């Protein structure tokens, strides 16, 4: 299959000298879109949750169970701080990371944040595929996600870029992220959402 005619010109690895930080709720596609985006831009891809698990030597579920959410958030803040000191890459963060004011300030200083915004039905369909998210085990997933959307979307809106993550080919969402990045790097004088 050939490249779709509408594919935007990639900014090219040389132009991206800041880490691109994927932000959004569980199921928004931060890891899958982030990984593809990294490939497209010729940048390394890093998943913060995975780094936290490696550092802790256990899964996020186990960290929540053994040490509680506050300990997880401390670890998350420290790991992301360290990752932001690395050369430019695409960094997928866990859904709660951008809610931390310190982390948000560091991302603002060192990176370009991309909020993958998705509606509740899309999120639900995607999170149902996996059962390893401790926050979603605290009750009914739709109600939990709805509450998190209410709390978090106003904060996620502080991200530099917002792209709607919709069902369909992941490459179409990656295309829109690349276009939004181009726009942002040009100075982004028009509206933020693409
Ligand atoms: C969390 C999201 C998870 C993970 C942890 C907490 C959250 O990451 O960091 O379970 O607070 O939204 P994903 O967003 O990658 O699922």
pLDDT tens digit sequence for 43-69: 999 999 999 999 999 999 999 999 999
pLDDT tens digits, the chain, 194 residues: what are they? 444 555 655 665 557 899 999 999 999 999 999 999 999 999 999 999 999 999 999 999 999 999 999 999 999 999 999 999 999 999 999 999 999 999 999 999 999 999 999 999 999 999 988 888 999 999 999 999 999 999 999 999 999 999 999 888 999 999 999 999 999 998 865 545 55
pLDDT above 70 covers a percentage of the chain that reads 89
Residue minimizing CA distance to atom 10 of ligand 1: 133
Establish whether residue 96 lines the binding site of ligand 1, counting it when its CB lies within 6 angstroms of any ligand atom. Answer: yes
Q: Are 110 and 18 in contact (CB under 8 A)?
A: yes
In a mutational test of the pocket of ligand 1, which residue from 49, 70, 132 has the highest number of ligand atoms less than 8 Å from its CB? 49
Ligand 1 centroid to Cα of residue 132, in Å, is 10
Total Cβ atoms within 10 A of residue 56: 17
Establish whether residue 26 lines the binding site of ligand 1, counting it when its CB lies within 6 angstroms of any ligand atom. Answer: yes
**163 strand-pairing partners:** 116
Rounded to whole angstroms, the Cα distance separating 163 from 50 reads: 24
Mean pLDDT over all residues of the chain?
Answer: 91
Q: Which tokens hold the place of 106?
A: 């560091």
Whole-prediction pTM: 0.91
Q: How far is CA 166 from CA 11, 44, 120, 171, 186, in A?
A: 23, 24, 11, 11, 25
Establish whether residue 100 lines the binding site of ligand 1, counting it when its CB lies within 6 angstroms of any ligand atom. Answer: no
Establish whether residue 34 lines the binding site of ligand 1, counting it when its CB lies within 6 angstroms of any ligand atom. Answer: no
């Amino acid at each position: 299959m050939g490249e779709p005619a509408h594919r935007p010109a990639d900014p090219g690895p040389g132009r991206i000298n800041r880490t691109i930080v994927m932000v959004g709720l569980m199921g928004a596609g931060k890891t899958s879109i982030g990984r593809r985006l990294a490939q497209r831009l010729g940048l390394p891809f890093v998943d913060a949750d995975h780094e936290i698990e490696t550092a802790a030597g256990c899964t996020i579920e186990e960290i929540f169970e053994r040490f509680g959410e506050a300990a997880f958030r401390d670890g998350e803040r420290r790991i992301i701080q360290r990752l932001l000191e690395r050369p430019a890459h695409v960094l997928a963060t866990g859904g709660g990371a951008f809610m931390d004011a310190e982390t948000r300030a560091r991302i603002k200083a060192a990176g370009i944040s991309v909020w993958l915004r998705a509606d509740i039905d899309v999120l639900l369909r995607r999170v149902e595929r996996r059962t390893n998210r401790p926050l979603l085990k605290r009750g009914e997933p739709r109600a939990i996600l709805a509450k998190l959307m209410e709390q978090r979307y106003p904060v996620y809106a502080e991200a530099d870029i917002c792209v709607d993550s919709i069902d369909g080919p992941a490459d179409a969402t990656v295309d829109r992220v690349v276009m939004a990045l181009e726009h942002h790097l040009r100075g982004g004088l028009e509206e933020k959402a693409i």
